[in-house]
Structure 1
Amino acid sequence: MTGATMRAVVVDHPGGPEVLQVRDVPVPRAEPGQVLIRVHAFGLNRSELHFRRGQASSGSFPRIPGIEATGVVESAPGGELVPGTPVVTLMGGMGRSFDGGYAQYVLVPAAQAIPFTSDLPWEVLGAVPEMLQTAHGTLAVGVRPSAGDVLLVRGGTSSIGLTLAVLGGLRGLTVLSTTRSPARAALLESVGVDHVLVDDGHVAVQVRELHPHGVDGAVELVGVDVMRDTLRSVRSGGTVCFTGMLSDHWTIPEFYPMDWLPNGVRLTAYSGEAADLPAPVLQEFLDAVADGRARVPAGRVYRLDQIAQAHADMEAGSVGGKGVVLL
């Protein structure tokens, strides 16, 4: 493919959605130890908003953004994967320290390409990698619940929140999820949420009406501006995992642990990499979706030339699940 070009989204400098420019750029060439992937779809993530705005703690410009992609192996000179193999890839510096998934091809380290088999459509597969890695890791590493536990998801209508509800159902958890809009209760119920809580800023009171001693675990996806209330929703010996910050509030100016943390409640955090999504976990989830035991909480599907609108919709919170760009 020497001299070939591809369509890609390039960001020259931080700014609003208008800085996302679709251009023709050279197709990267794989060396041994790398895999070139023909991208069929990629998911949209709030961390890409932070990068585009210049709020990220890492990354450089100009850059093709995108922390994940789904497609097929185009070439793997080191022989790690056979061309034509379906794969997902995510994280590891994608879209920040090297060019990411907002393109027709993406070049990644071979260890960062995770193979799978599935007949699901690309717009469904494209929604899965980062969403599943984050939700799976949050449960397996952060909260570590047991079957029968009660889990609170603060920020339940986000793509991660919806996936946590799906995984919670598969793992025998009772799931409570929050939304600020009563109109979105049906969305939460459609992915198996057992109790929908309308977030008025005082979720702990509502949780304790259902579970007087508190829930066994909670996932904070909204931000530190509500986390103090989330901590008060959890029983002594339970765990709160800080995974997301939909409110864009992620630091606490004055953190006094004895004031913030109820007695015996543990606070953890989770952010993972491609290595934190084992191929068997990916395959098990895709199989569960294929046979109807689970669903992918997909939102709107966009074309590559609609990327600026997709980012505007993400900022407005109107995607309605995981946004995906289908190539």
Structure 2
Amino acid sequence: MKAYVIQNAGGPDVLQLRDIASPEPGPDEVQIRVRAFGLNRAETYRRAGKMGPISGQVVPGIEAVGEVIRDPAGVFRTGQRVATAMGGLQFSRNGSYAEQVTVLRSNVIDLDGTTLSWEELAALPEAFLTVWGALDKGMSIEQGQTLLVRGATSSVGLAALTYAKACGLNVIATTRSPANRNRLEQLGANHVVIDAGEVADIVREISPAGIDAALEVIGASTLRDSIKTLRPFGAVSVVGLLGGPPVLEPFHLMQDLPAATRLSFFQSGLFGTPAMPLNDTPLPWIAQEIAAGRMPSLRVQTFDFDDVRRAHSLMESNRALGKLVVRL
């Protein structure tokens, strides 16, 4: 099969398209024919050597959609439409930048019955599963609540905005650029706040008693300010590190953490583990909502398989304002 491999850390030029063997599935694995995959920052970090050393041959990619080739256990049938994400992809096993991928069965999601194109489906798994984990599992969001999305123009931030709106929440979205205001409003943001480094006072003007929940995509550099927006018993979940290393130093529990608020860090490495099984994910529902026009698509550009280097360059330019996908 053809796959992109990395043998040295570096820029997009280190992505090399090669012919490699497709691993046969073991008893707890499923082999999938990849039809499309989404692009993620984690893949640029892996390529650049920021997520551990590159030894031997690394196939990047942490998500894909496609059709089952073989499931030794017979849980998934041949030809079944599925999605997969994480489960060691691009670290302990070959990633999804390939014509075929062999993954843990616990990290496979049934998408039979969905009518979306492969390109549209490829924009969903990693971003929306992360949002589901942070908002539903981590913060137990409810209809009518107010959510702050700090870093809303990232792919995860946009997924959080559209998912929260579909679930009946009010959303305050932040962006550093006024030029992005219209994009966020079109996707349903109730309020757009231009982020110059501190937004707590502006959010408190919108919601004087404080908000119910905050999704922190930027990370440690803005976390203290995001926490200040919460009401008592409100919650914040960190899902991104766009603002730098995940280090808070020093952090004063009484001064920096308002009374009775909850702070958590959600990692998508939980996908498919006993702590976060994927048999009840909202992914099929999200696909149906997008197909029906009740949720907007986040896909902004589709690349051919031989154009992955250019896709990486665009992703690193921060000009995408949505999800980039590759169609095989």
**CA distance, structure 1, for counterparts of residue 223 and residue 281 of structure 2:** 33
Per the alignment, residue 102 of structure 1 pairs with 97
Per the alignment, residue 244 of structure 1 pairs with 240
Question: Which amino acid is the alignment partner of residue 176 of structure 1?
Answer: I
Question: Taking structure 1 as reference, are residues 60 and 241 closer, same or farther at Cα in structure 2, changes over 3 Å only?
Answer: farther
Per the alignment, residue 307 of structure 1 pairs with 308
Find the residue that maps to 2:309 and give its secondary structure: helix
Find the residue that maps to 2:149 and give its secondary structure: strand
1:78 aligned to 2:79? no
**CA distance, structure 1, for counterparts of residue 74 and residue 199 of structure 2:** 52
TM-score using structure 1 length: 0.94
Question: Which amino acid is the alignment partner of residue 220 of structure 2?
Answer: V
Question: Which amino acid is the alignment partner of residue 214 of structure 1?
Answer: G
**CA distance, structure 1, for counterparts of residue 284 and residue 81 of structure 2:** 12
Q: How does 1:1-327 map to 2 (within 5 A)?
A: 6-57=1-52, 60-117=55-112, 118-272=114-268, 273-275=270-272, 276=276, 277-279=278-280, 281-327=282-328
Find the residue that maps to 1:259 and give its secondary structure: helix
Q: Structure 1, unaligned stretches of length 5 or more?
A: 1-5
Deviations along 1:118-149, one digit per CA (max 9) or x if unpaired, are: 12111100111111100111111222222111
**CA distance, structure 1, for counterparts of residue 281 and residue 238 of structure 2:** 25
Q: Quick one: percent identity of the two aligned structures?
A: 39
Give the total of aligned pairs.
Answer: 322
Find the residue that maps to 1:305 and give its secondary structure: helix
**CA distance, structure 1, for counterparts of residue 149 and residue 61 of structure 2:** 26
**CA distance, structure 1, for counterparts of residue 99 and residue 256 of structure 2:** 46
Question: Taking structure 1 as reference, are residues 194 and 102 closer, same or farther at Cα in structure 2, changes over 3 Å only?
Answer: same
Deviations along 1:128-182, one digit per CA (max 9) or x if unpaired, are: 1111100111111222222111100000011111111111112111000001111
**CA distance, structure 1, for counterparts of residue 78 and residue 49 of structure 2:** 36
Deviations along 1:271-297, one digit per CA (max 9) or x if unpaired, are: 234334435522111111111211231
Question: Which amino acid is the alignment partner of residue 271 of structure 2?
Answer: A
Question: Taking structure 1 as reference, are residues 219 and 81 closer, same or farther at Cα in structure 2, changes over 3 Å only?
Answer: same
**CA distance, structure 1, for counterparts of residue 103 and residue 111 of structure 2:** 17
Structure 1 position 299, deviation (Å)? 2.4
Question: Taking structure 1 as reference, are residues 279 and 74 closer, same or farther at Cα in structure 2, changes over 3 Å only?
Answer: farther
Q: Structure 2, unaligned stretches of length 5 or more?
A: none
> Which shifted more, 313-322 or 213-222?
313-322
**CA distance, structure 1, for counterparts of residue 136 and residue 281 of structure 2:** 14
Structure 1 position 58, deviation (Å)? 8.0
Question: Taking structure 1 as reference, are residues 189 and 58 closer, same or farther at Cα in structure 2, changes over 3 Å only?
Answer: farther
Q: CA RMSD in A?
A: 1.6
Q: Is the 8 A contact 1:143 1:218 kept in 2?
A: no
Find the residue that maps to 1:192 and give its secondary structure: coil
Find the residue that maps to 2:142 and give its secondary structure: coil
Per the alignment, residue 3 of structure 1 pairs with none
